Amino acid sequence: MSRVIRLNSPPLLAYGGVPQHISTAGYPEASKELIKKGLFMKKVLITGITGQDGSYLAEFLLHKGCEVHGIIRRASTFNTGRIDHIYVDPHAPKAKLFLHYGDLSNAEQVSDIIYNVRPDEIYHLGAQSHVRVSFDMPEYTGNIIALGTIRILEIIRRSKKSIKFYQASSSEMFGRSPSPQDENTAFRPSSPYASAKTYAHWMVANYREGYNTFASSGILFNHESPRRGETFVTRKITKAVANIVAGKQKKLYLGNLKAKRDWGYAPEYVEIMWKILQQNKPGDYVIGTGKEHSVEEFVALAFNYAGLKHKKYVKIDKNYYRPTDVHDSVADSSKAREELGWQPRVKCEELVKIMVDADMRAIGIKPIGEGDKILKKRFPKKWWKAEHTTGKN
C-alpha cells in the first residue's frame, strides 16, 4: 500500500491567521521525485467545479492523483449533475474529492476555504459565464468575475504561501480586435462579461509582476462538449437536433447566425489548464483550434448529420441578439504550440457529431454513432467517464 506524504501540513492556524509553512508549490526536485513515486499527493482547489470545465478538470486532476477540493454554491435544486459520477462519500477511505460551500461574492467564506484546504494550486473557473446574460446582469457579472478574482488573489498574497493560480481568461476579451488573435492582440471587450474578464486578466498580470504570485491566464477560445450548458449556442443546437429527431421539438429559435467562433472540445482544454500551471514560469497562453465557423455553419453541420435540412426548422428570435456581439474570433496559439505542445485533436465538424450523439443518447434514442467512433479513435486512453451529464446552465 502506498504511503502519502503531505509536505504542506503545518498545524492549522486559527481562522484568519496566516499559514506559515513550507510550500511545495513550485516543486523543488525532492518533491518532484516524491510525486513520481506516488508518495506525494498534490492538493488542488477548483472554483466553478460544477460547471462544464470544472467537472472535466476535477476528473482529470483525480486521474493525475491529486486531492481535489471544489467550491460549490448552495442551490435549492441540485447543481452537482456534472460531478455526481466522480463523487464518493468523503468518509470513504479512498475519498479524494471534497466539496465546500462558498460563493465568489463572499471573500470571508472563500478565504476560510483556502486557509483550511491549503491548496498547492487554485484553478479559478467560477464565473457568471453567459455573455448574453451579462447584459441583463452587468453589476452581478462584474462582482463575480472581476471582484471574485481579486478576492482570491488577495487571499493568496496575504497568505504568503506560494500557491499557483490559474485564471480562466476568455477570447471574448479581444472583442472586435482583428483575428487571428494572440497574446499580444489588443483587448477590445464588447460586453459586461468581457470587460469583467479583462479587469480580472490584468489584475492577474499585476499580481504576477507586483507580488511575484505564480499566476497564469489561459485565454481560451470557445470550447464545447455534451456537458456544455444548454443555453450556449452549440448545445442548444445539438440538443434541438436530438429532440427534433425524437419528435419532441418542432422549431429551434436562434439569434445572430452570422457570428463566427473558434470551437474546440472541452476535455482537451482542461488538460492544457493543468499544463499551464506545470510550467516553470507563469504567463498567458492563447488556446484555440485556429479555425472558425459561423453559427449557421454549426447549425447546418448538426442538422445534416441527422439527415435534416436546417432551414426547415430554424427561426430567428431577435431576443437572442446582443446589444454588441463579437463578429469573428479565431486563435493564433503559436506560443502554446511551441511551449506547451498544444495540438488540438478534435475539429469542429467532429465536435458536432460527438455532441449530437451524446444528446441523442441522453434522450433515449439511438445515436448515429460517428461521434462515438471519433472519441474512440482520438482518445484511446480517455480519462473522463461520463460523456453526458444532467448539468444545466
Q: Provide the binding-site residues for ligand NAP, judged by CB under 6 A.
A: 47-48, 50-54, 71, 73, 75, 79, 103-105, 125-129, 144, 168, 170, 220, 222-223, 229, 393
Among 325, 328, 339, 372, binds ligand G4F (CB under 6 A): 325
- Least Å distance between CB 62 and ligand G4F? 24
- Beta carbon nearer to ligand G4F, 213 or 329: 329
Kindly report whether the peptide bond that precedes residue 226 is cis, defined as omega within 30 degrees of 0.
no
- Those residues whose C-beta lies under 8 Å from the C-beta of residue 6, and which sit 6 or more positions away, are 40, 41, 43
Residue 128 binding target from ligand G4F, ligand NAP, none, CB below 5 to 8 Å by type: ligand NAP
**Is 15 annotated as catalytic?**
no
Q: Which of 129, 170, 190, 225 is catalytic?
A: 170
Residue 13, helix vs strand vs coil:
coil
- Contact partner at residue 99 from ligand G4F, ligand NAP, none, CB < 5 to 8 Å by partner kind: none
Q: Which residues contact 154 (CB under 8 A, 6 or more apart)?
A: 107
Instruction: Mark whether 207 is an active-site residue.
Output: no
Q: Which helix (H) or strand (E) holds 196?
A: helix 192-211
CB of 206 to ligand G4F, least distance (A): 21
Beta carbon of residue 7, minimum distance to ligand NAP (angstroms, whole number): 29
| Shortest spacing between CB 167 and ligand NAP, in angstroms | 9
* Interactions with ligand G4F, residue window 67-126 (CB under 6 A): none
When the beta carbons of 164 and 261 are compared against ligand G4F, the nearer one is 261
Q: What gap in Å lies between CA 262 and CA 223, rounded to an integer?
A: 8
Nearest to 356 by CA among 222, 242, 249, 224: 242
Q: What is the largest CA-CA distance in the chain?
A: 66
236 contacts which partner out of ligand NAP, ligand G4F, none, CB within 5 to 8 A by kind? ligand G4F
171 binds ligand G4F (CB under 6 A): yes
* CA dihedral over 134, 197, 79, 295, signed as positive or negative: positive
Per-residue buried b or exposed e for 339-356, using 16+ beta carbons within 10 Å of the residue's own CB: ebebebebbbebbbbbbb
Question: In angstroms, what is the minimal distance from the CB of 145 to ligand G4F?
Answer: 9
Residue 238 engages ligand G4F in binding (rule: CB under 6 A)? no
Contacts of residue 140, defined as CB under 8 A and 6 or more positions apart, other chains included, come to: 128
User: Which are the catalytic amino acids?
Assistant: 170, 172, 193
